[in-house]
Structure 1
Amino acid sequence: MNDLVRSIGVAMKKIKKIFIICCFFMLPSCSALSSSTPAPTLAVVNQNLQAELIVEGKLVPEKDIKIVSMVSGKIEEIFVSENQIINQDEIVIQIEGIEKLNAQIQSAKLELLKARKDLEKLNRTAELEFNNAQLNLSQAELDLIKAKEAYSPFDSSNYQEKIDNAKIDVNDAEVDLEKAQDNFEPYKDLDQDNLLRKQFEKIVEEKQDILDKLKRGRDHLIQSRELALATLNLSETAVDEARYQFELKQDGPDKDLLELVNAKVEAAQSNLDASEYLLRTIQIQSPISGKVVQKFVDIGDQVVMGQPLLVIIDDTNWFVETVDFTELDLTHIEEGDRVLLKADAYPDLSIDGEVESISQWFYEKSGDIHYQVRIKVLDIVPEFRWGLTFEVTVP
């Protein structure tokens, strides 16, 4: 039909050219006629042969959704039937495994609740932790002062001299003990009641007692200084740690602990999200409100990932889509134009339509460039069915 309209337009242009040429050649003959003889007048009729533009399209709903299985398994429940009206988020099909997954979700919720409570407690007690850290730092610094004071007497030349003298006394006592033992040696095998044996043995015991006492004195001096030094070192370490903890808590909760607790919250939330996502894959909900127009499975069927389950349409509005408009036809139509629609199945029914959109993408068919046009049907009738063929007339 479009080709016919264009052929008529071309023919009209040729007729106009022939008419102009004929008039051009007739002018000299007309000038030779007597002025007294009236010249015949040519009556030119301007006929507007603009024809209607007619194309064909298919009826489609506002939305159509094909629901496919996201997992493999057995169909446990089907809650809808064909031609049933359903609401958005309504459960339509359930695949086996719901009990186990519900248990996982409850466990994930408890884990998330515990992690959030830990985070809340950490934030709530941040000020208390800061005050405790400040108190601990003050106490550690006070202990360090005491440790320095306690170590001060040991960190002197006089005290070192005492240790050196004590070591000398121990060495001298060891020499005296050796001499006493040497003197006792000739008498040690005599009878225990022998007076000489008893006398030299007593001297050995006295020298041993003196040596033991001197060793204890020397060791006490050394250990006292080492203990004071160890206490000082420990106090310095305690101050460093207390200052580190204080600085950590100056800007709120402990950063390391806060990072750890936040990580636990995120992990718990991820576990819950993953479990709820798995739930949605086996307890399938409708993404739109509309009508179930096709059901591919029955209860007990085994399905695989990607297998179609249902087709749902939103038939709130209907549209006619066509790709019959060529690039030349676009000069006769634009968005917002009114058109006339007729269904092949109902030829006596004329319906108004409005051009909603003209695609920017093109299709090449039989050497011509075509564009998809979407036309909103303004009058909806119960007889509408997806896929009906419509004739679109552009006035």
Structure 2
Amino acid sequence: MSMHIALVGPIATADIGHLLDGETAHLPVGYYGAPLLVTLIAELLRRGHKVTVVTLSWNMALDWRKPVHAFGHNLEMIYVPMRRRAWQPNGWRLGRIVDLYAFERRGLQYVIEQAAPDVVHAHWSYEFAWAAQQTGLPTLVTCHDSPFVVARMYSRSRLTQSLYRWIRVGMAWYVLRRAPCVSAVSPYLQAEVQALCKHPVTVVPNPLPPSLFDKPGQPDRHPDPHSPLLAMVANGWDRRKNPEPALRAFAALRIRKPGARFSLYGSDFGPGERAEQWARQHGMADGMEFIGRVPYSRLLGELAAADILVHPALEETFGMTLAEAMAMGIPVVGGASSGAVPWVVGEGGVLTDVTSATSIELALLDLLDSPTRYRAAVFAAQARIRTHFTVDQVADAYEAIYCHLSGKMRHQERASVSVVASLDNRG
């Protein structure tokens, strides 16, 4: 049964442009950070659903009554303006966190109500979900992070950044306490957010793009023992991403394997950015290539050449980079106590203490110096992704929830009609 689904969340034009008609250069930039949502959108369209995508963009005139629309086959993309600054005034408007994203929520609510979908799927438990709830339409809220964990990770940051995160904890609490239908992207996150919710939280993982599974597996390959290529993807040089032990581990590894190379991707990891500055200050930059933030398609293409993905994050609620690397047969070195990392990785790599550079180095050597161990990890990585995280499996799970929500709403509407009819008959 085809449905009209409104998917509300952070979506960038650069990621969804291939699904839209014509040129996209004139469109707002959208909201960066979640290419995985486009994977889900494409699959819903393939299944015959009508999809309305609603996102925010900072490079628009600040008038929520003037959204920007773009179209594709069975697809409508709607951009709502977002204030650029969180604390400082935006013209005569307050910073967006000062009024709890009230301006943005009003615009989101307006366009969702105008679209009149059968069901709304809101991603992240903050402004997008709050606006969706304000419409009164049947809504699924999907959690992608733990508000309390994120706030605690930023507790040592500057005051405004820490306060910003704790205010968003309050927003998430307000949303989740009122949400009748909530999903989380891992069992770890399910346990983290369940206490905030009045109803049971369902686990539906993030989807992997089908193109990753088109790449032939290479179970017999083994990295060059003298010049392995490692890769790391991290957006931000902060406590939660925990990059320093990984860079120290690579510097130690390079003493044993002078030809080793380390490709570093993500914000703060570009040429001259914080990661390179730190590495050069500590005399550890040799063999490291600071690439920084790149388009998603380029990232996947270059990541495919890596022998091992190093993932030192202290906490992940899923870890898309982990799953993407594993789908391409790239083993992972990740944290044994890093949230959902052990659940995602399984036997597809080595789990270790990522706060210790020595432990990370030993985990890398465990894979690099044992062809048998490496091949087993390659096989296990691809097998785990194919049995747990394909877009077919994820879309099946979400469709079941959509049908339940829309069916429940139709039942309530029929009940309301019956009550009204009964009252009319009495009159």
Provide the TM-score with structure 2 as the length reference: 0.18
Report which of the two has the higher share of strand: 1
Structure of higher RCO (CA pairs closer than 8 Å, 6+ residues apart): 1
TM-score if structure 1 supplies the norm length?
0.19
